[in-house]
Structure 1
């Protein structure tokens, strides 16, 4: 298994005005980066897991778990944001099932 994709994990903080610096503080911040294996989840497997066909579901495998709190991740240089749906920690690697962020909270 090749870990050939760069996975960047981001956190979201609400922006607030800082009167000392006259700038806005907060927003998105990179909290972790790791190399991982990324594969698509097929339509039949998506129906078994979620009960319907969900677009943009991917399985990400990492060597070690990400211990920081994160809101979404991005794969390589893609502008698409992915949010965690579920995660498992088998004996060897960490598996994260993510779906495309479509703007729902």
Structure 2
């Protein structure tokens, strides 16, 4: 298994609503970056895992678990944000099932 994609984990803890400007202040902060293996989940497996066909579902495999809290991740600094759906920690690697972030900025 090749760990050939850069996975960046971000937190949104510093974001907050400013009632004076009616805007959201603060931004995302990078909390961890590591190499990982990225695999698309097929339509039949998506139905078995999630109960419906969902676009943009991927399995991310990394060597070490993430100790810090994170809100979303990006793959290879792409514009698409992925949110965690579920995670497993078997004996060797950590597997994170993520889906495309829809509707949040």
Please say whether Structure 1 and Structure 2 have the same fold, judged by a TM-score greater than 0.5. yes
Report whether the alignment pairs 1:75 with 2:78. no
Provide the residue aligned with 1:38 in structure 2. Answer: 38
Shift of 1:25: 6.3
Pairs aligned (count): 98
Can you give the 5+ residue segments of structure 2 that lack an aligned partner in the other structure? Answer: 19-23
RMSD of aligned alpha carbons: 1.6
Q: In structure 1, what is the equivalent of residue 88 of structure 2?
A: 88
Runs of 4+ with >2 A deviation = none
What's the counterpart of residue 27 of structure 1? 27
Which is strand-richer, 1 or 2? 1
- Rounded Cα–Cα distance in structure 1 between residues aligned with 2:103 and 2:17: 21
Instruction: Work out whether residues 82 and 99 of structure 2, in 8 Å CA contact, stay in contact via their aligned partners in 1.
Output: yes
Distance 1:44 1:8 in 2: 28
SS of the residue 1:33 aligns to: strand
Q: Which runs of 5+ in 1 are unaligned?
A: 18-23
